[in-house]
Copies of this chain bind each other. A is one copy, B any other.
Amino acid sequence: MHESADEPRALLQAQSLCFARNDEVIFGPLDFSLHAGETVLIEGDNGSGKTTLLKVLSGLLDPTSGDVLLHGAPLTLAKLSHQVALLGHLPGLKLELSALENLRFATGMGGIRPGITPHLALASVGLEGYEDAPLRTLSAGQRKRVALARLLLVPAALWLLDEPYANLDRSGIDLVNRLLDHHARRGGAALITSHGAYAFTSGTPRRIALKASA
């Protein structure tokens, strides 16, 4: 409450956010805010609650206590806007459909940024030639890239990415960094999780550390 008055209004704000499962605290009271143009890295060991935090921030789980504010207003599933794009452990892609069909569905649901098409997006994640292959026949890393292409297409200002680097090769990791850079430069914000084992190359982002619950 005390923060929001002076500063420019944060895109996302967590106020003493707490989540517990059956009364075991998963992550402690967290306070942070995320402004346009920022990329923040959530670090923590296995089981420290990174995935859980992203679910709370996207409204999929209700916090045990504390608040999530989106543009200063409390976040509820009922009031979600086009602002948030979530990429979880599960990519939300249909294995029976081709990459292109999956992306077309995503733009139908979430709209599309001007000046980009599904074809272009696939090309820029390095998947030209795979447009029409059913996702089932792509390898783990190739599927991840399709999910990244979706981020490029859909006009969301806030990205919540759970371990975007997992399963990607070196060029894939570079790709994620380029995407994040680009997103920050045009005024977006991103929250990404990582257990810190990957090289995060683009500058030194702000970090939020989660401790293993105990």
Query: How far, in whole Å, are A166 and B144 apart by their CA atoms in the complex?
Result: 14
- Copies of this polypeptide in the complex: 2
Query: How far, in whole Å, are A169 and B44 apart by their CA atoms in the complex?
Result: 8
CB distance from A186 to the nearest CB of B (A): 27
Q: Is A157 an interface residue (CB 8 A)?
A: no
Residue among A45, A48, A165, A170 having the largest count of chain B Cβ atoms under 10 Å: A45
Query: How far, in whole Å, are A141 and B140 apart by their CA atoms in the complex?
Result: 17
Q: A166-B166, A167-B166 are in contact. Are A142 and B197 (CB under 8 A)?
A: no
Interface size class of A (residues with CB under 8 A): 20 to 34
Q: Are A169 and B45 in contact, with the CB atoms below 8 A? A: yes
Query: How far, in whole Å, are A152 and B52 apart by their CA atoms in the complex?
Result: 30
Beta-carbon contacts of A31-53 to B below 8 Å, as 1s and 0s? 00000000000001111100100
Q: Are B170 and A196 in contact, with the CB atoms below 8 A? A: yes
Beyond the given pairs A46-B172, A47-B139, 15 more chain A to chain B contacts, judged by CB atoms under 8 angstroms and listed by A's residue number, are A45-B171, A46-B140, A46-B142, A46-B145, A47-B138, A47-B141, A51-B140, A89-B140, A163-B167, A170-B195, A170-B196, A170-B197, A172-B195, A197-B198, A198-B198
